[in-house]
Amino acid sequence: FVICFLATTAAGATITTVNSHYTAAEVSRQLHDSEASVVMYHPNTAAAVLGATQMLPPGTVKHMISTHEAINSSDLSLSTLAADDGLAYPKNLQVDVASDVSVLPYSSGTTGAPKGVMLTNRSIVANLQQLSHPDLIFNNPFGVDITFAVIPLFHIYGMVTCLFLTLTTGSKCITFTKFDPHLYIKCLLKYKPTVLHTVPPILHFLVQTPQVQREVMASVQTIGSGAAPVGEALAQQVRSKFGDNIQFQEGYGMTELSPVSHVAPIGQFVAGSCGKLVPNTTCKLVHLETGDVLAPGDGEGELCIKGPQVMKGYFNNPEATASTIDDEGWLHTGDVARVNEDGNCFIVDRIKELIKVKGFQVAPAELEDVLRECPGVADAAVIGVPDSKAGEVPRAYIVKDTSNHSVTAEELQKFMAERVAAHKQLVGGVVFVEVIPKAMTGKILRKDLRDLAEL
C-alpha cells in the first residue's frame, strides 16, 4: 500500500483510496465517480475489484495492477513494474502543489452520498507540519517512537495521522491489515510500542481482556484517538489498569481537513474535549439560529474552520463544495461545538443529527450518554422519527448488557423520565437490537438506523 501510494503521488497522479471491505457495487460507484483509469488491488480484494470493473463501461479502467501475483493474464504486477528500466517515469514532472489534487479520499457518507474530497500536496503537508509541532508530539527520551497503527490506511486518519506523520517525524510505524485480538496482544509484547493510534472499542477490549496485564502495555506512553471520543470513564479505566503515566491525546478532524484541526497538547488532556486548534488554524462558532459568531464560553454553535489544510473542494460537485466552504474560505463542519476560555473544543453533536421536538433541539449524544448509565444497557443510539404533533421525537436503539437481559422498555422510559426534560423523552419508542451499526472508527451510523426504521 505504502509503495503504491507514494509512487502514484510521486508520478504526479491522483490516488483515491477505497475501503477494502466494500462490495463490488460500492467499488464500482467510487471508480466511476472518481474517474479512475488505473486500479491497484490486493489479491484479497480481487473479487470485489473485478466485479466492480465489469459493472463499468468497457475501457473505463485501462490498467489493472496487483500488489502480488496478477489474477488475470492481462493484469500487471507490482514486482513487474518495479523491475523495469524506469524510462516510463515522467521527466521534469510539473506539479502545482497548491492546486493539483494529490489524494481523493471519499467522505464517510453518513449524512449523504460519499463525495470525493480533493486534497492537494500542500494541504496534506501543511497538516503534517501542524501536527509535528513540539507541543503535539511525544518525544521518547529512550529512542525512536514506535507507533501502532490499527486504523485502516485507506481511512484519512490512518493515512495521514498514523502513516505519514510517523514518516515525517522519523518514527517507526507498525501496521495491521485488520484488528486481530490475539495478534494485537502478541505484537504489543514483541514491538513494545510507545504510541497507540486507536479507537474506543479497542481500548474497551484492552481493559476488559484479562490476559492484557500491565506488563503488556508497559511501553505505551501515549494513546491517540481522533475518530470518536475516549471519555473520562474509559480513560480512567485504562490508567487504573495500565498506569497513570499514560497520556491521552484526543483530536478532531474530518476528511475535508486533511484531516486535523484540533489536538490536545501532550499532558493537557481534558475529558470530553477534542483539544485545541493546531498551529496556523482559526475557528469560529456560528449560532445555529441567529448566525452570530460566538465568543469562547458563550454557548454552542456550528464549528467552522479556516486554514491551509482545508480541502480544495468536492470532486465534480460544485454545489456540495459551495454549501460546505463559504465565500470567505470558512469550512462549515456540520458539527455543533462549544469552546471554553482555555481554547478547549467540545463537540456536542452534528447539526443534521439534531432532533427538533416542537422547535426544541435535542442532541442524540446527550440522550445516549444517559441511556448508557441505565443498568442493563450495554450500548445505545438515538435518532429522530417523524411525529404528527411534535415534528420529530427521539427513538432509542438499545443493546442489552449480556449479564443483565431483564431491562425493559418501560424501565428505560421511567429511567429517562427522571433524568431529562419532557421534550427529550423517548416518545418515539425503544427498540432492542443485537448491535448498534457503527463505522470502523466507532462512530454511530445513524443513516443505517434510519434505514432500519424506514425513514
Segment 375-399, tens digit of pLDDT:
999 999 999 999 887 889 999 999 9
Class of domain 121-350: alpha beta
Segment 203-261, tens digit of pLDDT:
989 999 999 999 999 999 999 987 667 878 889 999 999 999 999 999 999 999 999 99
pLDDT at 110 over 60: no
In the structure, what pLDDT confidence band is assigned to residue 336 with cuts at 50, 70 and 90?
very high
Burial 123-146 (b: 16+ CB within 10 A, else e): bbbbbbebbeeeebbbeeeeeebb
Q: How far is the first Cα of the chain from the last one, in angstroms, to the nearest whole number?
A: 39
Residue 80's pLDDT is 87
Q: Mean pLDDT over all residues of the chain?
A: 91
CA distance 246 to 216: 13
**123 φ/ψ sector (left φ>0, alpha ψ -120 to 50, else beta):** alpha
CA distance 26 to 48: 9
CA distance 173 to 443: 25
Convert 197-231 into a string of H (helix), E (strand) and C (coil): ECCHHHHHHHHHCCCCCHHHHCCCCEEEECCCCCC
How many other CB atoms are found less than 10 A from the CB of residue 357? 23
pLDDT at 273 over 50: yes
The grid coordinates listed for 398 are 438499545
How many other CB atoms are found less than 10 A from the CB of residue 102? 21
Residue 112's pLDDT is 59
Query: For 354-452, which CATH superfamily applies?
Result: ANL, C-terminal domain (3.30.300.30)
Sorted by sequence, the CB contacts under 8 Å of residue 413 that are 6+ apart come out as 425, 426, 430
**Mean pLDDT throughout 432-442?**
88
Would you say 173 and 162 are in contact if contact means Cβ atoms under 8 Å apart?
Answer: yes
Residue 124: closest CA among 174, 168, 154, 90: 168
**Mean pLDDT throughout 298-317?**
96
Name the residue ranges covered by the structural domains of the chain: 2-93, 121-350, 354-452
Query: Whole-prediction pTM value?
Result: 0.84
CA distance 413 to 190: 49
The grid coordinates listed for 253 are 478532524
Residue 364: closest CA among 270, 447, 255: 447
Cα dihedral sign for 10, 15, 20, 25?
negative
**Mean pLDDT throughout 266-286?**
95
Length of the chain: 455
CA distances from 343 to 173, 217, 262, 269, 445 (A): 31, 31, 10, 12, 29
CA distances from 255 to 127, 320, 376 (A): 12, 14, 36
What percent of the chain has pLDDT above 70?
97
Would you say 235 and 244 are in contact if contact means Cβ atoms under 8 Å apart?
Answer: no
Would you say 285 and 293 are in contact if contact means Cβ atoms under 8 Å apart?
Answer: yes
Segment 47-82, tens digit of pLDDT:
999 999 999 999 999 999 999 988 888 899 999 888
